[in-house]
Amino acid sequence: MEFFKTFLILLCCFLSVQTLLTKFLFRGRLLCNKSSLRYQMKIKELDTFVDDTISRIPPIESISPHYYEAYAEEDGDGFLDMYYELFITILHNCSDDGKNRFLKVDIGSIPIRHGWIHRTLDIELTNVGIVTTDLIRRKFYSYKYHKKTNKYI
């Protein structure tokens, strides 16, 4: 009987954590020494086996100063996990050699909770990241537009 009570309590805790909707808004400057910049972003959540993409930002053409704003939402992160481990990936062309670069930016651990999380983060791009042959275009991130939520998924 005691095992059953413990099981029910754990199940309730698990279900309540999984139904919390956390909304994220990240914004800041993209530090680039070029007057124009093209980039794509994803916000991802680190998982044991496969990282979850929780937001995709369509290709952006920016004119200096370069600002970004990225929105994402998530409704829990696995059994008994009380934190999101988030990072941003950026494919960009801010390089002196004209080549595209791929950059991963760690955001850190953010507690799972219902409501909004706002973070301001300036990101250095000039010649930063791994040189890649990936192109900055829709196909790279395989977007789908969800009409009901008016978001790219």
Task: Summarize pLDDT for 75-114 with one digit per residue, the tens.
Answer: 876 666 788 889 999 999 999 998 999 999 999 888 888 8
Global pTM exceeds 0.85: no
**Per-position pLDDT tens, the chain of length 153:** 676 666 555 555 555 445 678 899 999 999 999 999 999 999 998 877 778 888 898 899 999 999 999 999 888 766 667 888 899 999 999 999 989 999 999 998 888 888 898 999 999 999 999 999 888 876 544 444 444 554 444
CATH 1.10.286 fits 2-145, yes or no: no
| Residues with Cβ within 8 Å of residue 85, at least 6 apart in sequence | 45, 46, 77, 108, 109
Residue 139's Cα: distance from chain center in Å? 18
Please name the residue ranges forming H helices in the chain. Answer: 2-18, 138-141
Q: Which of 89, 94, 101 is nearest to 64 (CA)?
A: 94
As a whole number of angstroms, the distance between CA 74 and CA 112 comes to 9
The three-class DSSP label of residue 24 is strand
Phi, psi (deg, nearest 5) at residue 139: -60, -35
